[in-house]
Amino acid sequence: MTAGGILSVPEEWRAMGDDTATEWSAGTATAVITPSEPMRMAGYGAREEPAEGTLQDLHAKAVALEDERGTQFVAVGLEVLAVSRELHASVTDAVEREHGLPAANLLLNASHTHGGPVYRDRKTEVFSLSEEERAQAHDYKEFLEETLVDIVGTALADLTPARITYSHARCGIAMNRRPPLEEGIGFQPYPDGPVDHDVPVLAVESPDGETLRAVLFGYACHPTTLFGREWTGDWAGYAMEHLESEYPDAVAVFIQGCGGDQKAYPQRELELTKHYGKALATSVRGALVANRRPVRGPLRCVTEEIDLEFEEPPAREELESRLDVDDRYVRRHAKHLLGELDEHGELPRRHPYPIQAVGFGGDLTLIALTGEVLVGYSLKLKDRLPGPLWVAGYSNNYFTYIPTVDDLSAGGYEADRFVHFTEFPARFDRSVEDRVLSTATALARRVTPPGS
């Protein structure tokens, strides 16, 4: 039973008998991950003061699924800026060791809220941390690792028979932020730019269809409408809050999409942020009352790590000349790269990039991409592959913005400027799009039965 009434059971299932009710088992777990003390906040370079309060608690939420063959998959949504490579490695290693779940069968997806803590102690001085802040970041990372391993285990221990359905809806809060201007690509609302307004929804119900136990939902948009110094999940946090209020027996898990160039406008008003969250939650509710299709399995999970290539790195002379520019981020980036040259004699030309695919029989395919993926990747994959297809970004490793070839050609913040906020020597070369799309396409086909 829900606050809004009993969930409707899809007509397709009424003709299937009871077999589909026991094909799946599902479990859930939730943990609060709000820092217990003031510390540096992640996401905005200009915000160097620590947090000073809590607007919303931050959470990590897990949904575990097991098909009738015993194959398991766990999706974890966490309200942090990003999943670092180190965090992903330590969590997947511990989960496989303690719970027997392979890394390919675990999805760690960051909501990308800018209202969470810094926990990465990066080598670069682009965002300098004091010794005290470094210690806090280290301690929080250890806490986060332990918490994530724990909730995966708790969700797996909670497995009981369930039904799973899929549907989707639309939500219009996202707008492209890359307008073409005379001076180049801007960083402001661009209503004519590409968007992906799809809201994929995976519902986990009791076998009789009476109780919603979990809902995983996605959307492609930056949750960056607030610029305060309080912990918050932004509109994504409010969307989960609305859904759990409407369906009190359910755990609501947000999965961030390819929202690297998407934002909700206007911004910086709390009531608007809450409105955006409620709008997304309403779209999810629309999907839940729609004619949902049954998801039968079996589960197939694969992952592959490829290398993405950078353009030719700047020479030492060029880096030295940047030490005198006015832009402090360019100066800090140049100083970091000069340190790399001194230590290693050269700058890296490539970086590993993991891609994950999860197949739910022929009923749904999930592709999880790494980094701040621009929306073009989601749109291109949906053109290439049959549906239903769910494309997530911000998964399993923090990287940087992942632009398409067209984005690289146009330039702008995501293609050019942001490199100065990273440890990387240069922007990507033009092979990036083909490498990501071809690998994601191949993995999706590996987890989808022939003829689907």
Q: What is the C-alpha separation between 322 and 331, in angstroms, rounded?
A: 6
Taking the CA atoms of 183, 184, 187 and 191 in sequence, report the sign of the dihedral they define: positive
**CA-to-CA dists, residue 306 to 90, 418, 433, 448, angstroms:** 20, 22, 12, 21
State residue 128's pLDDT score: 73
pLDDT in tens, 74-87: 999 999 999 999 99
Q: At what angle do helices 270-289 and 234-246 cross, to 10 degrees?
A: 50
One-letter amino acid of 369: L
User: Is there a contact between 444 and 357 (Cβ–Cβ < 8 Å)?
Assistant: yes
Sequence-ordered list of residues with C-beta below 8 angstroms from that of 444, at least 6 positions apart, any chain = 357, 359, 365, 367, 381, 385, 389
Tens-digit pLDDT profile for residues 146-171: 999 999 999 999 999 999 999 999 99
pTM beyond cutoff 0.75: yes
| pLDDT tens-place string over residues 325-354 | 999 889 989 999 999 999 999 999 999 999
Residue 449 neighbours by CB under 8 Å, 6+ apart: 359, 361, 362
Q: Over 173-225, what HEC string results?
A: CEEECCCEECCEECCCCECCCCCCCEEEEEEEECCCCCCEEEEEEEECCECCC
Q: What is the pLDDT of residues 361-418, one digit of tens each?
A: 999 999 999 999 999 999 999 999 998 999 999 999 887 999 999 999 999 999 998 8
CB-count burial class (<10 Å; 0-12, 13-18, 19+) for 318 = exposed
Rounded to whole angstroms, the Cα distance separating 156 from 5 reads 29
One DSSP character per residue, 396-436 reads SS---EE--HHHHHH-STTTTGGGGGSS-SS-B-TTHHHHH
Q: Where are the domains of the chain?
A: 11-304+352-401+440-446, 314-347
Is 70 exceeded by the pLDDT of residue 122?
no
Q: pLDDT tens digit string along 266-287?
A: 999 999 999 999 999 999 999 9
How many Cβ atoms sit within 10 Å of the Cβ of residue 68?
14
Q: Is the pLDDT of residue 255 over 90?
A: yes
pLDDT at 328: 87
Q: What is the 3-state secondary structure (H, E, C) of 331-371?
A: HHHHHHHHHHHHHHCCCCCEEEEEEEEEEECCCEEEEECCC
